[in-house]
Amino acid sequence: MKPRAPEGPTQGDLFSRPAGRELTYPRDQDNEPPPIGEEKKPAPPAAPAPAPAAKPKPKIYSVGELVRAAARAVEAPLSGVWVEGEVFSAKKHSSGHLYFSLKDDDAQIPVVMWRSDAVRVRFAVEDGMHVRVRGRATIYEQQGKFQMYAAVIEPVGAGEAALAFEQLKKKLEAEGLFDRARKRKLPWWPRRVGVVTSPTGAAIRDIIRVLHRRAGVPIAIAPAAVQGEGAWFDIVSALQLVARVPDVDVVIVGRGGGSAEDLAVFNDERVARAIAACPKPVISAVGHEVDVTIADFVADERAPTPSAAAERAVPVAAEVAAELEGLAGRLTRAARRTRESALHGLERLVERFERAGGALVRGRRTALVALERRLGQLHPRARLAADRARLGPLAARLPAAVGRALAVRRRALAELSGRLDALSPLRVLERGYGLVRSEDGRVITEARNLAKGDLVNVKLRRGGFAARVERSEDDDE
């Protein structure tokens, strides 16, 4: 679709001729033929031509002056104009300023939207969008470039709120905040119900009435504004506050019905992330059945109205009592059937035991007799008697064998004693020899091992004495 022409004067109009004035061209009267029947009269003599006036000196502009003059010429008629086109090269600066360009089939123009205006845009400006922008056209002096400063931007076709809703929905869904796997089950019977809503609205009265009627569960109310500027901050703070109450097991967040603008805060990304981050299960109860918000997708449970949220938060006490009574009856009947089945099984087991008991006792008795017999054989008295019976013949032959062995050992001992006696040094000493030792106990066998003055000990057959060497003689000398 070709964008419509902007309202107000166009650039071409700036240089058009003034309205009501037509260009005229003078006739050359000298060359025009005379009327019929009249002769052409000679022209009177021409007056002398005046001297030519001096040519004025042209004004010389600096580059800056020229660009500023052009900017003033453009800004005056093109302030507050609407321009429609397709977005491309969209980029949001870290400062918050928004830069993009608009194009159609004929031309393109760069656009700047300052942060103070960009913060009011509820949707993300992306390439390919067809938008309508209101602002002022000018010339950027430093580059001499024609551009536009935008104050308002609107999507063409879908409304701004609807576009922002779809963009945020896609974003959070891609992050997994809508996944059923991350959502928690509501407690069967909560100890306390937390409620985040306006303390003066109809929603809180409906919730309190339903909770008291169904189960009388205690309530923790975290008051918050649910529409208007800054309401998102109230809801986020209230969610964080009620989540810190120890016995709160489930939280209801929402409000009663209203216009789309009234419910807009529940489409705020900050509210959606606060619901997802709440450590307690959250029931979203915003507006009526037909009202759907981002909070409904993020919450663990969605209720069509605040009253329905209260009904889902707690069971009906009377219904629970009836259900428990029914469960108790079923449990009693099941216990009775189990007991009867167990008794029947025990009776069958006793019968089987009685049938198998006789054979088992007989087998055990036989085994016991065999064990008693083996035990009697292993008794010490029995083993001693058996050993005596085996050793009887041996005991009769033992004295004679021992006597013969002793005689042989005595003869061998006598022979060895004689040989030892012959080799004993005492026999030598009996023949008049002595055994000489030095002071440190060494046996002296050669005279050369002694020096004059050495002290020696002499062992005789009986006793001994100490002597000091006065002189020694060596056989070799």
Q: Would you place residue 104 in the very low, low, confident or very high pLDDT band (cuts 50, 70, 90)?
A: confident
Say if residue 41's pLDDT is above 70. no
Average pLDDT on 361-383 reads 77
CATH topology of domain 63-157: OB fold (Dihydrolipoamide Acetyltransferase, E2P) (2.40.50)
User: Tell me, what amino acid is at 264?
Assistant: A
Q: Would you place residue 475 in the very low, low, confident or very high pLDDT band (cuts 50, 70, 90)?
A: low
Say if residue 459's pLDDT is above 60. yes
CATH number of 190-315: 3.40.50.261
Say if residue 33's pLDDT is above 50. no
Handedness of CA 337, 343, 346, 352 (dihedral sign): negative
- Give the pLDDT confidence score for residue 42 in this predicted structure: 57
Average pLDDT on 317-321 reads 64
DSSP letter for 19, please: T
What's the chain look like in SS3? CCCCCCCCCCHHHHCCCCCCCCCCCCCCCCCCCCCCCCCCCCCCCCCCCCCCCCCCCCCCCCHHHHHHHHHHHHHCCCEEEEEEEEEEEEEECCCCCEEEEEECCCCEEEEEECHHHHCCCCCCCCCCCEEEEEEEEEEECCCCEEEEEEEEEEECCCCHHHHHHHHHHHHHHHCCCCCHHHCCCCCCCCCEEEEEECCCCHHHHHHHHHHHHHCCCCEEEEECCCCCCCHHHHHHHHHHHHHCCCCEEEEEEEECCCCCCCCHHHHCHHHHHHHHHCCCCEEEEECCCCCCCHHHHHCCEECCCHHHHHHHHCCCHHHHHHHHHHHHHHHHHHHHHHHHHHHHHHHHHHHHHHHHHHHHHHHHHHHHHHHHHHHHHHCHHHHHHHHHHHHHHHHHHHHHHHHHHHHHHHHHHHHHHHHHHHHCHHHHHHCCCCEEEECCCCECCCHHHCCCCCEEEEECCCCEEEEECCCCCCCCC
Phi, psi dihedrals of residue 133, rounded to the nearest 5°: -120, 135
- Give the pLDDT confidence score for residue 302 in this predicted structure: 92
Tokens coding 203: 């929603």
More confident residue, 7 or 330: 330
Q: Virtual CA dihedral for 423, 429, 431, 436, nearest 10 degrees?
A: 120
Nearest of 276, 270, 256, 263 to residue 198 by alpha carbon: 256
| 8 Å CB contact between 219 and 248 | no
More confident residue, 462 or 395: 462
Average pLDDT on 168-191 reads 90
Average pLDDT on 181-208 reads 92
Say if residue 37's pLDDT is above 50. no
Say if residue 239's pLDDT is above 90. yes
Q: Would you place residue 11 in the very low, low, confident or very high pLDDT band (cuts 50, 70, 90)?
A: very low
Instruction: Specify the residue for token string 């062995």.
Output: 405
- Give the pLDDT confidence score for residue 73 in this predicted structure: 75
Q: Would you place residue 320 in the very low, low, confident or very high pLDDT band (cuts 50, 70, 90)?
A: low
The percent of residues in the chain predicted with pLDDT above 70, rounded, is 82
User: Tell me, what amino acid is at 356?
Assistant: A
Average pLDDT on 16-27 reads 37
- Domain ranges in the chain are 63-157, 190-315, 429-468
pTM: 0.45
CA 245 to chain centre: 24
